[in-house]
Structure 1
């Protein structure tokens, strides 16, 4: 149930409204980035990012100030690049022999940037990083064995629940899918709605479908059509029983949370970035539980990836910045306090700021037990986008009653087979 944890936790509640995305930052206008490179004597470390909300900018400034305090010969230059221009500017700058020392970007798009020649592998740095074993392996972004990015924090999905509805129905937060469906059925019989999520036929849809696909035993490593049919049949059942609205095929991740926050829906599949919206809009007691997925289930760990620009004149300094800020135990707590993102280090996840907070602890438990690379590491980098759209289209077609689970699964499997051969 939602509680006021006092102390440092208050900082999260006041700024989490600014965390409005799943795996990446917002967009906006900004100046074009310039050339980068080390200088003789005092050095300038150039960091490109797309963080535009006040709290996000505060986090970037905090990292810059702390690193400058550690290295009095270094000035950190944070350069804003609009989100929808980041990938192309990184690749174009790399081709011109320019670019940043450090880049923040959508972690899910690491392959696009790395294959475009904009990032340098960080294997040697990672191998010599004393705390590497404390960082979740599922936040490393690799291509053919080379590490190109790591996430200093993560954003992910959980099961938000209306505690007052569950109390009225005599239900507990579910720990299995059967318990979830039983609670949704009871909610529907009592005049409430069961669950909200997104069924968009794009990457957002695949992001929210993935936990339920894997819970049914489906994986990209060993795609099984029967498991896919099982997962899609479950979604069809939720619609047929009146637990999930067909309108979900038009909802991004913002709308279903607004629907849940209105107070007449038992559950919402949504992320930690919605905490501020919950505190502002949900006029009822609520809580978060890990998605009840079973042993085979997985939840994508989204968030910004951090990498070293291929043309950095001082990659050692760039790595020093990453190791001293985003990959540092205290640095990860800055991300938690300022923007509400979860630590990717196991020791940071054990801080009181996480464990004594009923909302954050549920998400943190998911990171440890169910966290999965986003995107799935078995997908060929050049096929990631097409795979996500293909699976999302199947998910959306079933929720929207445009296809049967069998038809949608067969079409997705045919597309997937051709994509995985790349």
Structure 2
């Protein structure tokens, strides 16, 4: 096992919660060029840049500052090397803002890593850039395939290019002390209960909820559960459903349950606001568990978002794929199967970085089922989990769609547009972004 670093300047370390939600950093010109590259032949041939077919090269954007993730990658390397004497895993760090273009450039030269670990939301861009090897033949023979949630399998035009060995998702954090103070016995399980609880908090002088309202991809990520709860889907973008959702959230602002300041909050800030103790609920993710233990000075808990029959929550996290020009794709698949996709590997990830397993049996492990902070997230995967990005979105349009929805969501929260006008304009725009 070895760690290598690309000889390029590193970006400052970002919190994983922000990193997994960054919008797809690719221009229309790059996407168009990638579409042309997708027609090229190849796969499993050419140089991988690993130097030896006995070396499995893994590219990721986990910097030295991200010690937990680096530790997990070391654990995975040791597992694979123990299982396959004579093989070496070379973990190569490539800065987040460079890994996508570097992978595309390497593929153009018929080179690249054996394994690439990337923002799962960008799987379509990597596939269209002709950087990933289709893995359907491997998945079809994988004995544990039935354990993997369909919502973490990334396909383009029916072909599978990547999977996610773990997920990050949103839940409803609640201040248990405030609940008791205002007479709430249990966290809400429906929209009507959520709003009734926020009304009680407001009447007692507290805020109702914090959310991210940034006019970009993070905003779209946090808007998605409430949009789908209102019946909206990207497959059939209805202005009427959007109007219902936007009316709901604007009503939260008008009644003083949600601050207009949310339009300036990324996902870190609203959780910090909630941790200060004056807000009943926070829509935020499992990656905040460690911070809450340190910073929250009150009794708290987390529950699944109170969504109805149509409600969904994105399953974010890193995707893993086999490089199109891996020298040894069969061994690259074995690496994935024995690390990211194995039950033990996913429990290793949970222990190291707090990510929720994407395998059903790992998510049902007693270490999760008995943990009141983890179980709600694991339950949400099965009940509400949705592919990130949504399957209906054209891969080349992901960045544009996330920006459009985030901007509209922000405008509604900020009160700069009416719910109906916002819905009409967004619905018309979305038709060009979805299949």
In structure 2, what is the Cα distance between the partners aligned to 1:232 and 1:196? 16
Tell me which of 142, 152, 157 is aligned to 1:139: 152
Correspondence 1:46 to 2:57: yes
Match of 1:335 in 2: 349
In structure 1, what is the Cα distance between the partners aligned to 2:171 and 2:372? 12
Report the Cα offset of residue 334 of structure 1: 0.5
The RMSD of aligned alpha carbons is 1.5
Correspondence 1:362 to 2:373: no
TM-score (norm 1): 0.91
Query: What is the DSSP-based 3-state SS (H/G/I as helix, E as strand, rest coil) of the residue aligned with 2:277?
Result: helix
Report the Cα offset of residue 37 of structure 1: 4.0
Q: Residues 134-213 of structure 1 correspond to what in structure 2 (within 5 A)?
A: 134-171=147-184, 172-213=186-227
In structure 2, what is the Cα distance between the partners aligned to 1:375 and 1:354? 26
Correspondence 1:313 to 2:327: yes
Match of 1:80 in 2: 93
The answer to whether the 8 Å contact 2:58/2:90 transfers is yes
Report the Cα offset of residue 386 of structure 1: 1.1
Match of 1:71 in 2: 84
Q: How many pairs were matched up?
A: 395
Report the more deviating stretch, 410-419 or 236-245.
410-419
In structure 2, what is the Cα distance between the partners aligned to 1:45 and 1:35? 9
Match of 1:249 in 2: 263
Match of 1:286 in 2: 300
Runs of 4+ in structure 1 over 3 Å off: 17-22
In structure 1, what is the Cα distance between the partners aligned to 2:294 and 2:52? 47
The answer to whether the 8 Å contact 2:56/2:332 transfers is yes
Query: What is the DSSP-based 3-state SS (H/G/I as helix, E as strand, rest coil) of the residue aligned with 1:119?
Result: coil
Correspondence 1:408 to 2:422: yes
Correspondence 1:238 to 2:235: no
Post-superposition Cα deviations, 1:328-380, rounded to whole Å, max 9, x if no partner, equal 01110001000000000000011111001001000001011100000001111
Query: What is the DSSP-based 3-state SS (H/G/I as helix, E as strand, rest coil) of the residue aligned with 2:234?
Result: coil
Post-superposition Cα deviations, 1:47-92, rounded to whole Å, max 9, x if no partner, equal 0001121101000000001110110121000000111111001001
Match of 1:109 in 2: 122
Post-superposition Cα deviations, 1:296-325, rounded to whole Å, max 9, x if no partner, equal 000000000000001101000000000011
Report the Cα offset of residue 98 of structure 1: 1.4
In structure 2, what is the Cα distance between the partners aligned to 1:78 and 1:342? 23
Match of 2:283 in 1: 269
Inter-CA distance 260–193: structure 2 relative to 1 (3 Å threshold): same
Report the Cα offset of residue 24 of structure 1: 6.0
Query: What is the DSSP-based 3-state SS (H/G/I as helix, E as strand, rest coil) of the residue aligned with 2:373?
Result: helix
Match of 1:388 in 2: 402
Correspondence 1:23 to 2:20: yes
Query: What is the DSSP-based 3-state SS (H/G/I as helix, E as strand, rest coil) of the residue aligned with 2:172?
Result: strand
Report the Cα offset of residue 394 of structure 1: 1.3
Tell me which of 90, 99, 114 is aligned to 2:112: 99
- Where does structure 2 lack aligned partners over 5 or more consecutive residues? 1-13, 23-46
Tell me which of 370, 377, 383 is aligned to 2:391: 377
Query: What is the DSSP-based 3-state SS (H/G/I as helix, E as strand, rest coil) of the residue aligned with 1:359?
Result: coil
Report the Cα offset of residue 35 of structure 1: 5.4
- Where does structure 1 lack aligned partners over 5 or more consecutive residues? 1-16, 26-33
Query: What is the DSSP-based 3-state SS (H/G/I as helix, E as strand, rest coil) of the residue aligned with 1:159?
Result: strand
Query: What is the DSSP-based 3-state SS (H/G/I as helix, E as strand, rest coil) of the residue aligned with 2:266?
Result: coil
In structure 2, what is the Cα distance between the partners aligned to 1:364 and 1:93? 37
The answer to whether the 8 Å contact 2:153/2:164 transfers is yes
Report the Cα offset of residue 18 of structure 1: 6.6
In structure 1, what is the Cα distance between the partners aligned to 2:79 and 2:434? 44
Match of 1:28 in 2: none
Query: What is the DSSP-based 3-state SS (H/G/I as helix, E as strand, rest coil) of the residue aligned with 2:90?
Result: strand
